[in-house]
Chain A
Amino acid sequence: MSEFKALTDAVMKGDIQTAVAETQSALDAGANVQDILDKGLIVAMDEVGEKFSTGQMFVPQMLRSAKTMQECMKLIKPLFQEGQLTAKGKVVIGTVRQDLHDIGKNLVAMMMEGAGFTITDLGVDVSPKDFTQKAEEVGADIVAMSALLSTTMPAMRETIKALQDAGIRDKVKVMIGGAPVTENFALEIKADAYAPDAGSAVIAAKKLLGIS
């Protein structure tokens, strides 16, 4: 049994108060911060992801767990040395140019963050240039784009082109999603992955970066 079971349980239940208190007491007791992250928080979120994808948990419960983890992260993050925090990967995410619909994108961002990715959320109506600049700036592993309108889908192709033109296309993986987006469209524009929903987005992102 993990020494962080109470913390893990609290994150899974979405009990922010208990989880934060457990994190604090683990820190007070001198626990290793990387262990708190890996064996307490990430373990919990992996289990949450598993339960969610098998239909044993609802979206608001999953999001509450993610929020609980974020609150705990606020306590432990400052204790990591610069660059020491081993995140699963850096993701730059946004809805494409002219697309203002962000519920799906927000869900994906929350779930990826919960799964341990570092998220830079550019919001809505993100131009190919902004995607590219931010990806370069943060050294992104993944650029994730969302579109709800078929009329905005061409902006996905343009963003991929912008990444090429900036010479960083081979350094980042590109993921796309949104109601009118299909697997075939992803193949056509040479994106690296398509995800039909937030749960699959996390799985696809892990697969792209070769992490379990």
Chain B
Amino acid sequence: MASPDITTFQPRLRVLNREQALAIHTAALEILEKTGFKMEHPRVLEMLADKGCKISDGDWVCMPPHLVEEALKTAPKQITLYDQKNAKAMELANENSFYGTGSDATFTQDLETGERRRTVLQDVSHFAKLVDGLENIDFAMSMANPEDAPIEDIYVYVFAEMVKNTHKPIVFIADSGRDIAKIHEIACLVVGGEEELQSRPFILNYSEAISPLRFPENVMEKLIFCAQKKVPLCLPSGSNAGGGAPVTLAGAMALGIAENLVGLVVHQMAGKGSPFLFGPNVSALDMKSSVVCYGCPEWSLTQAALADMRDEIYGLPIWAFAGASDAKVMDAQAGAEAMFSIITALLSRSNLIHDVGFLEYGSTSSLEMITMANELIAMSRYYVQGIPVNDGTLALEAIERVGRGGPGSIFLMDDHTYNHFMDALFLPKLLDRSRYDAWKNEGGMNLYKRCNMEAKRILLEHEVDPKPDTVLTEIEQILKSS
């Protein structure tokens, strides 16, 4: 008999030891104290000076480490995102992982023609609706930078489009303090008011500082807005190895973390206790094409390292990426790269994992790619559950029955199989395991084709209850006033 209370080990990846984690953290603090950074928001500059930062050359700031320590103490260790029906959807804390799409793709792979074309607003609605209909995709981002939206209010338009087509949490982009206020207004309409949004936020803002060490005014405007309104926010910079940051991953991480810490310090000054999702984007610049890679092992490795630093030092929920590729079409490379980042993000327990469904280093979005990723995430989640060991799973009784059952006795017929197969095994929906003849008779389709059909089916059949007419009317008014 097995002991009834054997805990299940859930496979877990670690890539840094404590000494490494502390050394990178210390380097980040040293960057802020010795090298400093460029702060282009005048009021923030004053705030930092008041707190004891050294200012030189007008807007160059050197920050003492104690400010970082204080901010780490006041930032909440848990951020809960709700869906748009007020239900808890994503508890960003500890080892919880959630996947979602990405933003701002210039192109998309057309679902009907398969061609790469410029994105339009309608794509935003399709992506949001698909996200809504996929069980392993937890939040939506725009996946498009539509050419038919007025450019000065492009982020307001894509936000409105997402709200109309999904009830899941939304990670949104804004340009400045001006359009973020409009987006916030729409979000308040959806949940019935500013207080409601504060207590049950369904939105999280993604902004970026510029690596190395530059904090533009419009970026800080958004950060202060979020801190004051308690809208959860992340502020990763593009501290990519060889691009915005040193080519060696340790240095790139130290720089990206330093930049994130600046964001955190200012954020906590502007709104003590407001939610801040931690983490830089540390991918690699490709040394031939100079693109920022979305399918490379470097990004997966640095975010696993960040998860270790979260556990060793920061204790804040973290930002991550997965399910994307540098391939131009959804081919074997796309599948391999997507799976590599999806499983490692989960194995290292990244918290909020975006960019699912990108091709072409984030320039092209693909509905099929998200549909495939949905299944790869299921596969990874199955793996990470580990192997529960108890009387039920050791199944000695079933072994006894079938083993001694004589000719014709098979496990497939046994009640134990019938009772447990759905939980015990991973049952794929799109990954094909049919016998050759069956596959051939069904049209001999590859995974891309099957994902294409599945995405089309979901867009046709999945229903998102519309937002109330009053809300929709007010959203239209906000858009018109733009």
Query: In the complex, A107→B290 CA distance in Å?
Result: 9
Contact A58 B151 (CB under 8 A): no
Check A150 for interface membership: any CB of B closer than 8 A. yes
Q: Is A139 part of the binding interface, using a Cβ–Cβ cutoff of 8 Å? A: no
The contact sample of 14 A-B pairs, CB cut-off 8 A, is: A58-B287, A59-B242, A59-B285, A59-B288, A60-B287, A98-B218, A100-B210, A104-B290, A150-B104, A151-B152, A153-B151, A179-B106, A180-B104, A180-B145
Known interface pairs A150-B145, A180-B145. Does A103 touch B244 (Cβ–Cβ under 8 Å)? yes
CB contact list, B146-177 vs A, under 8 A = 151-152, 154, 175
Min distance, Cβ B330 to any Cβ of chain A, angstroms: 21
Q: Assuming the A-B contacts A150-B104, A150-B145, A182-B106, are A100 and B243 also in contact, with contact meaning beta carbons closer than 8 angstroms in the complex?
A: no
Least distance between B242 CB and chain A CB atoms (Å): 8
Tell me if A210 is interfacial: C-beta within 8 Å of chain B.
no
Residues of B210-254 contacting chain A, CB below 8 A = 210, 214, 216, 218, 242-244, 247
Least CB separation from A153: chain B residue: B151
- Chain A residue with the shortest CB-CB distance to B105: A180
Q: Report B's interface with A, CB cutoff 8 A.
A: 104, 106, 118, 145, 151-152, 154, 175, 210, 214, 216, 218, 242-244, 247, 285, 287-290, 363
Known A-B contacts A180-B106, A184-B118; the reply to A154 vs B151 at CB < 8 A is: yes
Chain B, Cβ-Cβ closest to A185: B147
Distance of B148 from chain A, by nearest CB (Å): 12
Q: Are B154 and A100 in contact (CB under 8 A)?
A: no
- Give Cα A98 to B290, complex, Å: 23
* A182 and B118 contact, Cβ closer than 8 Å, known pairs A150-B154, A154-B151: yes
Give A104 to B288 CA distance when docked, in angstroms.
Answer: 13
Instruction: Give the docked Cα–Cα distance between A153 and B104 (Å).
Output: 14
Q: Cβ of A198 < 8 Å from any Cβ of B?
A: yes
Instruction: Indicate if the CB atoms of B288 and A151 lie closer than 8 Å.
Output: no
Min CB gap B262→A, angstroms: 16
Once bound together, how far apart are the Cα atoms of A198 and B286, in whole Å?
A: 13
* Residues of B with C-beta under 8 A to A149: 175
Chain A residues, CB < 8 A from B363: 179
**Does A197 make an interface contact (CB < 8 A)?**
yes
How many Cβ-Cβ contacts under 8 Å join chain A to chain B?
46
Inside 8 A of B216's CB, which chain A residues have their CB? 100
Are the C-beta atoms of B287 and A59 separated by less than 8 Å?
yes
Count chain A residues whose beta carbon lies closer than 8 angstroms to a beta carbon of B. Answer: 21
Bound together, the chains give a CA A104 to CA B243 distance in angstroms of 9
Residues of A with C-beta under 8 A to B288: 55, 58-59
Q: Is the CB of B214 within 8 A of A100?
A: yes
Give complex CA distance A104, B240 in Å.
Answer: 13
Q: Which residues of A contact B287 (CB under 8 A)?
A: 58-60
| Complex Cα spacing A117 to B290, Å | 21
Q: In the bound complex, how far is the Cα of B151 from the Cα of A98, in angstroms? A: 14
State the Cβ distance, B326 to closest chain A Cβ, in Å.
Answer: 14
Report the minimum CB–CB distance from B176 to chain A (whole Å): 9
Q: Which residue of A lies closest to B289 (CB)?
A: A197
A169: interface (CB < 8 Å): no
Min CB distance, A133 to chain B, in Å?
Answer: 24
Per-residue 0/1 for A177-200: is the Cβ within 8 Å of any B Cβ (1 yes, 0 no)?
A: 001101010000000000001100
* A101 proximal to B (CB < 8 A): yes
Residues of B within 8 A of A100 (CB): 210, 214, 216
**8 further A-B pairs in the complex, CB-CB below 8 A; given A55-B288, A103-B244, A107-B290:** A58-B288, A59-B242, A100-B214, A101-B210, A150-B151, A180-B145, A197-B290, A198-B290
Per the bound structure, the CA–CA distance linking A104 and B242 in Å amounts to 12
A58 to B56, CA, bound (A): 37
A151 adjacent to B118 (CB under 8 Å)? no
- Complex Cα gap A55–B242 (Å): 18
C-alpha gap A50/B300 in the complex (Å): 33
CB of A197 to closest CB in B, whole Å? 7
Chain B neighbourhood of A60, CB < 8 A: 242, 247, 287
Give residues 111-140 of A contacting B (CB, 8 Å): none
B298 to chain A, nearest CB (A): 15
Q: How far is the CB of A157 from chain B (nearest CB, A)?
A: 10
CA distance A198 to B288 in the complex (A): 11
Nearest opposing residue in chain B for A55, CB measure = B288
Decide yes or no: A151 and B243 within 8 Å by CB, A107-B290, A179-B106, A197-B290 being known contacts. no
CB pair A59–B151 under 8 Å, yes or no, is no
Cα A149 to Cα B104 with chains together (Å): 9
CA–CA, A7 and B402, complex, Å? 81
Within A146-167, the residues touching B (CB, 8 Å) are 149-151, 153-154
CA distance A59 to B288 in the complex (A): 6
Nearest CB in chain A to that of B106: its residue = A180
Whole-angstrom CA separation of A40 from B259 in the bound complex: 44
State the Cβ distance, B207 to closest chain A Cβ, in Å: 12
List residues of chain A with CB within 8 A of the CB of B151: 150-151, 153-154
Cα–Cα distance between A107 and B285 once the two chains are bound (Å):
12
Cα separation A182 to B364 with both chains bound (whole Å): 13
- Complex Cα distance, B287 from A60, in Å, reads 7
- Minimum CB–CB distance from A180 to chain B (whole Å) comes to 5
Contacts of A184 in B (CB 8 A): 118
* Residues on B with beta carbons closer than 8 Å to the beta carbon of A182: 106, 118
Q: Which of chain B's residues have a CB closer than 8 A to the CB of A198?
A: 290
Q: Within the complex, what minimum Cβ distance (angstroms) separates B219 from chain A?
A: 9
Tell me the nearest residue of chain B to A151, going by C-beta. B175
Assembled-state Cα–Cα distance A124/B204 (Å): 29
Q: Which residues of chain A are within 8 angstroms of B175 by Cβ–Cβ distance?
A: 149, 151
Closest to A56 in B: B288
Q: Report Cα–Cα, A151/B146, bound state, in Å.
A: 11
Interchain CA distance A100-B219 in the complex, whole Å: 11
A58 surroundings in chain B (CB, below 8 A): 287-288
Chain B residue numbers with a CB within 8 Å of A154 are 151-152
What CA separation (Å) do A198 and B152 show in the bound complex?
A: 28
